Amino acid sequence: MTDTTSLAEKLTAHFKDTISGCETDRDQITLVVSPSHLLSTCEALRDEDDFSFSQLVDLCGVDYSTYGQVDWATEETTATGFSRGRNKTSVSINNEQRFAVVYHLLSIKHNHRLRLRCYLPEENPTLASVTEVWSSANWYEREAYDMFGILFEGHPDLRRLLTDYGFIGHPFRKDFPLEGNVEVRYDPDQERVVYQPVTITNRVLVPRVIRDDHRYIPDEEPSDA
């Protein structure tokens, strides 16, 4: 792998007007692009000799609406404790940045990788399609549409990909229940498979907790001790 810092410097120098952030974490570079600049940035990343990201390795949606939320308080005491059967969904912390589309690019020529992120609002998340830039985006965008309801403008054939024919909802959104909304069974009277509301409930066996673990905090200031 080539040096990530020099690539990061080149990226910030080249895209200083269009990107809203460039950070390196654990040797991986993330570029944050605003939706309006996405297409031009992608084309430059593919065609500029310094970058030549010839491959779009991965494209996926992310729903940030419950980021950092936990089931169980670990810092203070509560009167109720944790109920295993409970169904919590308090969605949306930041409507303007609820969704993100994340692109993973690979440059065969220079042997480096890059992550590109585009935040999208909760209302009508729409983004330009990059199928013209990389053909592999076709199915990835269909999947992101299917799972998160993110629309890609200019996509040649934006149909659902993984879910059932006639499926309603976008299952990987955080407000979509894990057990789903409908289930199927064979109805002997009608002699066909019928849909019905789910009869199972979700049991959370292990509550989601966040604990401060000082061992894994990256050493910002080398301690004097």
Partner 1 sequence: MPEIRNMTMNFGPQHPAAHGVLRLILEMDGEVIERADPHIGLLHRGTEKLAESKPFNQSIGYMDRLDYVSMMCNEHAYVMAIEKLLGVTPPLRAQYIRVMFAEITRILNHLMWLGAHGLDIGAMTVFLYCFREREDLMDCYEAVSGTRMHATYFRPGGVYRDLPESMANYKASKWHNKEEAKRLNNNREGSLLDFISSFTERFPGCVDDYETLLTDNRIWKQRTVGIGVVSKERALQLGFTGPMLRGSGVEWDLRKKQPYEVYDKLNFDIPVGTEGDCYDRYLVRIEEMRQSNHIIRQCVDWLQQNPGEVILDDHKLTPPAREEMKGDMESLIHHFKLFTEGYCVPEGEVYVPVEHPKGEFGIYLISDGANKPYRVKIRAPGFAHLASMAEMVKGHMLADVVAVIGTQDIVFGEIDR
HSE of 66, CA atoms in CB hemisphere, 13 A: 14
E strand residue ranges, 40-82: 55-63
Strands of 19-25's sheet in order across: 19-25, 28-33, 112-120, 99-107, 55-63
Exactly one of 75, 123, 213, 224 binds partner 1 (CB under 8 A); that residue is 213
Q: Is residue 78 within the footprint of partner 1 (CB under 8 A)? A: no
Among 113, 178, 182, 118, which residue's Cα sits nearest to residue 150? 118
Query: Minimum Å distance from CB 207 to partner 1?
Result: 8
Exactly one of 25, 75, 220, 221 binds partner 1 (CB under 8 A); that residue is 25
Distance from C-alpha of 54 to C-alpha of 105, rounded to nearest angstrom: 8
Exactly one of 16, 26, 197, 200 binds partner 1 (CB under 8 A); that residue is 26
* Residue with Cβ nearer partner 1 (36 or 181): 181
Query: Minimum Å distance from CB 17 to partner 1?
Result: 25
What are the Cα distances from residue 176, in Å, to 88, 147, 168, 201, 224? 11, 10, 11, 13, 48
Q: Is residue 215 within the footprint of partner 1 (CB under 8 A)? A: yes
Query: Minimum Å distance from CB 136 to partner 1?
Result: 3
User: Interacting stretch for partner 1, rule CB under 8 A, among 59-67, 79-87, 120-128, 187-195?
Assistant: 59-67
Among 62, 60, 17, 23, which residue's Cα sits nearest to residue 40? 17
Applying CB under 8 A, the site for partner 1 has a residue count of 47
Query: Minimum Å distance from CB 189 to partner 1?
Result: 26
Q: Is residue 172 within the footprint of partner 1 (CB under 8 A)? A: yes
* Residue with Cβ nearer partner 1 (189 or 212): 212
Burial of 106 (0-12, 13-18, 19+ CB in 10 A): middle
Q: Is residue 22 within the footprint of partner 1 (CB under 8 A)? A: no
- Residues in contact with partner 1, shown as a per-residue x/- string from 90 to 119 under the rule CB under 8 A: ------------x-x---x--x-x-x----
Contact 61, 98 (CB under 8 A): no
- Residues in contact with partner 1, shown as a per-residue x/- string from 116 to 135 under the rule CB under 8 A: ------------------xx
